[in-house]
Structure formats: C-alpha cells, structure tokens
Amino acid sequence: MISRYLTKQFYINLLIIITIFIIDRISKVYVIYLDKFNQGYELFSSNFLNISLIWNKGIAFGFFSFEQGYLYKLITLIIAIVVCIVFIMILRNNGFRKYSLLLIFGGSLGNLYDRILYAGVPDFIDFHIGELHWFIFNIADIFITLGVIFMILLEFFDNNKKTYE
C-alpha cells in the first residue's frame, strides 16, 4: 500500500525539501561558526550587504520577539501546526503550485528546526542602502519568500484566466 506513494515524483519532492534544508543548515552552521571565531564581530560588510549573526526569537523578520517562555513555546507549536498544514497542501496539489509549497515547506522546516534546537533562528543576511536596512534574514527565509511569491502569482494568473473565460 505504501509503495503506491513511493513514485518518482515523491523522490523528486523529497530531494527538493532535503536540498533546501541542507543548504539552509550549512549556511547557518557556517555563519554561527564564523561568529564564534570572530567573537561576534561583523563577518562581512559592503555598501549594500552585511553578514552578521543575530538570533531571531520572534516570528517572521523578528516581529513579536520575546524571551523564551510559554508564549515562545506556544508560537513554536503554532508554527509546527502551520508546517503540517503546508505538508497536507503539498499532498493535495500538483504542478507549479506543489513546487511553490515545497519551497515554503523546506524553508519552514529549516527555521522550525532552529527554533527547537537553538530557541531562536539565526538570521545573518542584511541588505541595506545607506542607513536604510531591510529585515535581516537567512537562506530558509529566501525559499519561503520565493514560494509565497510564486503562490501569489499563481493566484493572480488563475483569477485572471477565470475572469476571461
């Protein structure tokens, strides 16, 4: 019965998720190592990009940051539930929508893993123009954002197609 799910598509989907997770883990472990080696100093700095480690204990982009406690554990539980819902959505979709959800799922797993392991998510990519800084983020956030952008575009194009039919 389980062999019916172990198709070529299953292995491709699994490979996408594992690849995203591994790329995210390698980047975070490397930055954490460099941060310890450099004793917390900025790892890289240029006119538009800084690489420096911060620990995000909030939700997305540091919103609702707080110290550990019951609220942090509750938020982590809610995030785990959302990750499970995204997994169910992956099983129920196909095509480009499924690949968009796989990007979201792979990145979400990386950040959820960090929340559980470190009690915070290591963010380190800081784009800026002069003193105007964007939110500091990590590789998992890039994949999540790309997946969400693709989902928005799919909705936009699907709605336009239905309007003209």
Contact status, residue 14 vs residue 7, Cβ threshold 8 Å: no
What pLDDT is attached to residue 63? 53
**How many domains would you assign to the chain?**
1
Q: With cut-offs at 50, 70 and 90, classify the pLDDT of residue 32.
A: very high
Stated pTM of the model: 0.85
Is-catalytic flag, 141?
A: yes
The residue from 24, 123, 126, 158 that is catalytic is 123
Q: Give the count of alpha carbons within 13 A of 26, CB side only.
A: 6
Per-residue pLDDT at 145: 97
Q: The domain containing residue 145 runs over which residues?
A: 2-163
Catalytic residue list contains 123? yes
Cβ-based neighbour number of residue 9 at 10 Å: 11
Categorize the per-residue pLDDT at 54 as very low, low, confident or very high, splitting at 50, 70 and 90.
very high
CA distances from 148 to 29, 86, 135 (A): 25, 12, 17
Q: What percent of the chain has pLDDT over 70?
A: 87
